[in-house]
Amino acid sequence: MLQTTYSGYPHLAPGGILAIEDIHGAHYLSTWWEPLAAYLGSPVTAQTLGAVHLYAYLVLMRKAGGPAPLFDPSAAPGANIPATGRISEVNQIAGAIASAPGGSLVVLENPTWPSMFNVHGLTYLFQAFNELHAPKAMPDSPPGCAHTNDSVCTSGTTNSDMQNRVAAVHILPHRVVVEIAQSPPIIAAVRHGTEWVPVHSIAESGR
């Protein structure tokens, strides 16, 4: 994932997006998220960064520029931002998320901060939201099907507390917007189709 980012991000066109998925587990904090913060927050990369969007098991990195505006749900007409959802310090994030009503937004913004895109800031945010990628369990149904070529198989998620509460995190140049889930989401990957590359072939190709 890191090599893909190091190799791919510099070649994005203005407004282009690099997506990295299947980030399953808290252990990726030290092997992926913290090195990613060091890369994206470095002076050279940070000046080209437009936004970082976090979802369960997924991160989108958008390069600055391009014709389309940055995605910022807090700027949408009718955005549901309660008074307690507007915060100015990072240590207020957990409390604001815990008290936010479903379907609302939590907005972290401090006019004294020059940018969210620095190594320290991104590291803190990736640490704070690491549980978004760390489920309590990942059961498959029928049991064991994830390691077979069966066409009927669902890879599920037993949600962490954060996965139950947070639908998405949008890290923008001067604010962080947290989308609070209306209700605990069902996070699952359901197989479709009837023909599959044999599991042993995939394993052999990765040797």
Residue-wise pLDDT for 108-164, tens only, equals 999 999 999 999 999 999 999 999 999 999 999 999 998 888 889 999 999 999 999
Q: If pLDDT is split at 50, 70 and 90, which confidence band does 199 have?
A: low
Q: Which residue has the tokens 């955005």?
A: 79
What is the percent of the chain where pLDDT is above 90?
A: 88
β-bridge pairing 105-108 and 86-87: parallel
According to the 3-state scheme, what is the secondary structure of the chain?
A: CHHHHHHHHHHCCCCCEEEECCCCCCCHHHHHHHHHHHHHCCHHHHCCEEEEEEECCEEEEEECCCCCCCCCHHHCCCCCCCHHHEECCHHHHHHHHHHCCCCCEEEECCCCCCCCCCHHHHHHHHHHCHHHHCCCECCEECCCHHHCCCCCCEECCECCHHHHHEEEEEECCCCEEEEECCCCCCCCEECCCCCCCCHHHHHHHCC
Judged against a pLDDT cut of 50, whether residue 203 lies above it is answered with: no
Span 9-52, pLDDT tens digits? 999 999 999 999 999 999 999 999 999 999 999 999 999 999 99
Span 51-80, pLDDT tens digits? 999 999 999 999 999 999 999 999 999 999
Distance between alpha carbon 127 and the CA centroid of its chain, in Å? 12
Q: Are 182 and 102 in contact (CB under 8 A)?
A: yes
